[in-house]
Every structure is written in structure tokens, then in C-alpha cells.
Amino acid sequence: MPRVFIIILNWNGSKDTIECLNSLEALDFRNFEIILVDNGSTDDSISNFKIQIPNFKNKVILIENKENLGFPAGNNVGIRCALNYGADYILLLNSDTVVDSQFLKELVVAAKNNQQAGILGPKIYFFDAPKTIWFAGGKFNWFQGSSHIGFGVRENHTNEGANLMRIKREYTNVDFITGCAMLVKKEVFAALGEPRPTGRAAPKWRASLSGAEREKIGLLDERFFLYYEDTDFCLKAKKAGFKSVFVPRAKIWHKIPLKSLKTELSGAVDKIGAPPVYYYHHRNVLLLIQNNGPWFIKTAKHFWVFWKLIKQGIKIIFFPEKRASSLAIARGFFDYYRGHFGQIRNSKSEISARRCYASNVADGRNKSQ
């Protein structure tokens, strides 16, 4: 039976995190341990965890980061720990989720039955609308960006046509799995650069990979901080021969605002404000292209940036109510070209951006980008 490590990140959100941990108590797959990473919380999260953890029957390892490292770097702390403990599968799970008791078992069964699957994800519903889908696999192309398959679909409504039919398929190969709930086989980290645990033989397929392929990435790219790091990870894994697979029988519920049903970014804007969302969104899409795009897309991105900057300049001059967001977009572009990545620097919006960490702004991450 594979050994699974569940990594949960927390930032000033112990109430939701403890509710997530409580839901994991009912899992019918038992060969797992939990790594809880606190990302420099400034509230009473740590003291709450130290009181509650002894009450859980599941083993919980608590790691305390001194500062908020962002979603990719915070997760990487847990991933390294899990690999050192000999994990076979690593599950990244948002702290503001509640899981179905069959959820982990379904993911593990799908992973064992599909040798080519490297990254797997469940069906994710809105917590406040338990039959309304937030994520049923990720769709991505270089011209339209990324989106959630099934976003806003209400189950048991037959008027959703082909979209609903696709969601009901047993297993579906998709372009990416959201970092809100992402099961990753250890072989993915090994193939993409993370050293395997001592004493374990290298898989046969690994010998066929060049050194350059193995060193492209081992963990999540910490330059993103927020947005697109999950898409980036899945695209790089695909290049190494791993598929991303949506598992519809695995189900969880995500505590994001129902108002995000308007657009897939509106929930994030509601949480942290428009400027930080647009900053990370526009800076990071360029980094995603840099990491994974074909040559013609890498060339075309410069013309796209020029066109977008003209639009933002017009908005800054003639539409004062849009000035802050337009300035954030422009700054995102300039920071990309200056090589300024990670957390937004020296800005009031940096304070707001920290608030999004606990759930990775998962209500709007990557989508409509």
C-alpha cells in the first residue's frame, strides 16, 4: 500500500485548517500522515494547533516557518519533508477544504491503475453550494489561457450538455490539476530534479531522461508566489512524460465565495483586492510562457505586452476608477522584464497579498488568465 503524505499550509486561518484536519479523520484510506506547515502566522494559529493536534488520531507533523514564504515555497518545505520520510505519493491540500471520506482512496486507486498518471486531482465543489462544481480538471492553451472545466455546473441538471458529460467520465486526462488538491507521485519529483531517497533504486524510465530534463524543476517554482505555479508544474511534468488526470469519484468542498461564480477571478479579487490579483496574474503568465511556451508564443508575448500596456495607459489617463488595477498590471509586466519575482515588492498591496496565502487564492488562481 503506498505511503501518502498530506501537506496543508496555514496562514492565519487555524479555524478552517482544523476543520480540514477533522474531515481527514474520517478517511477510509489509512496509510497517510499529515504535514501541517504554518507560514509565519501572526495570529494564534500555532497555539491553537498545539492544543488540537494531540486530539487527532491521525499523525500530524507541525512545521513552523518564520515568515510567509508564499504558496509554492511554503508547499516545498512540506514536500521536502515528505520525500525525506519516504513518501510514495504527496497530496497538496488547501487548508480551507473539507474532504469526502472516499476522497483519498479514489485518488490512490486511480494513481495505481494508471502508470502514466503523475498528477491527479478530485472534483471540487463550492462549500456553500455543495452540488455546484468549482473544478473538474484544468483546461489550458496558449491562446485562451487556462480555465476550470465544469466551473459553475450544477450536478443533476441535464441542460449542461457536453460539459456535464465530460465531467461524468471515469478518468479524464486534463491539462493541469489545481494546487488546491493535487496528488503527486514521488516519481514526478525524481524525474524533474528532486533527488530520490537514499537506498531506493532509480526507476527504469528515469535512465532515459537527460540530465537537463531531470534538472528542469523538482518542486514548485517559487518565483510565482501566487498564480500559475500549478499549471507550470503540470506542464513541466507533461514534458517528462507524466499525465495530469481528473478523478471524478474523489470529491472535496472548497470554502470560496459564491460570488466567484461571476468569474473565476472575482473570488480572489474579493479576498485580496484587484491590484495584487492583476499584478501576479499578468507577471506570472509571462513567466509561464518563458518556462513552457513554444518559440512563437515566446516571441508573440512581447507584442501582447505592448498592446496591453497601451490599453492600461488609456485607462490610467481616462478612467481613474481603474487606475490602481492598470498600474498593477503595468508593474507586473515591468517586474517580469526586470526579473523581479516572488512576492510583490515595496507596495501597500504586499500587505493585502499576504492574506491570500492560506488558500492560495484558489478561488481565482490561474483562471481567465
Cα separation, 355 vs 186, whole angstroms? 30
Average pLDDT over residues 166-185: 87
pLDDT at position 20, please? Answer: 98
Percent of the chain with pLDDT over 70: 79
- Report the candidate in 227, 215, 167 with the shortest Cα–Cα distance to residue 190: 215
Q: What is the pLDDT of residue 167?
A: 59
Residue-level pLDDT at 274: 79
Task: Quickly count: other Cβ atoms within 10 Å of residue 54's Cβ.
Answer: 7
Contact by Cβ (8 Å): 229, 357: no
Per-residue burial over 11-32, b = 16 or more CB atoms within 10 Å of its CB, e = otherwise:
bbbbebbbebbebbeebebeeb
Residue 273: its pLDDT value, please? 55
* 368 band by pLDDT with thresholds 50, 70 and 90: very low
The predicted structure's pLDDT at residue 261: 61
* pLDDT at residue 242, as a whole number: 96
Query: What is the predicted pLDDT for the residue at 171?
Result: 84
Q: Where are the domains of the chain?
A: 4-260, 266-359
Phi-psi region of 273 (alpha: psi -120 to 50; beta: other; left: phi over 0): left
Q: Which residues contact 182 (CB under 8 A, 6 or more apart)?
A: 91, 92, 119, 120, 121, 230
> Is residue 258 pLDDT above 90, yes or no?
no
Give the model's pLDDT for residue 305.
Answer: 97
29-43, 87-101, 137-151: lowest mean pLDDT where? 137-151
- Give yes or no for residue 164 having a pLDDT over 60: no
Work out the average pLDDT over 262-276.
58
Taking the C-alpha atoms of residue 281 and residue 227, their distance in angstroms, rounded to an integer, is 6
**Res 360: pLDDT:** 42
Q: Is 154 exposed, middle or buried (0-12, 13-18, 19+ CB in 10 A)?
A: middle
3-state secondary structure of 61: strand
User: Quick check: 144 pLDDT over 70?
Assistant: yes
Cell of residue 203, nine digits: 526507476
Q: What is the pLDDT of residues 276-332, one digit of tens each?
A: 889 999 999 999 999 999 999 999 999 999 999 999 999 999 999 999 999 999 999
Find out whether 181 and 97 touch, Cβ atoms under 8 Å. yes
- For residue 150, give the amino acid letter: G
Phi-psi region of 365 (alpha: psi -120 to 50; beta: other; left: phi over 0): beta
Q: Is the pLDDT of residue 369 over 60?
A: no
| CATH code of the region 4-260 | 3.90.550.60
Q: What is the pLDDT of residues 185-228, one digit of tens each?
A: 999 998 877 443 433 344 443 444 444 444 333 899 999 998 89
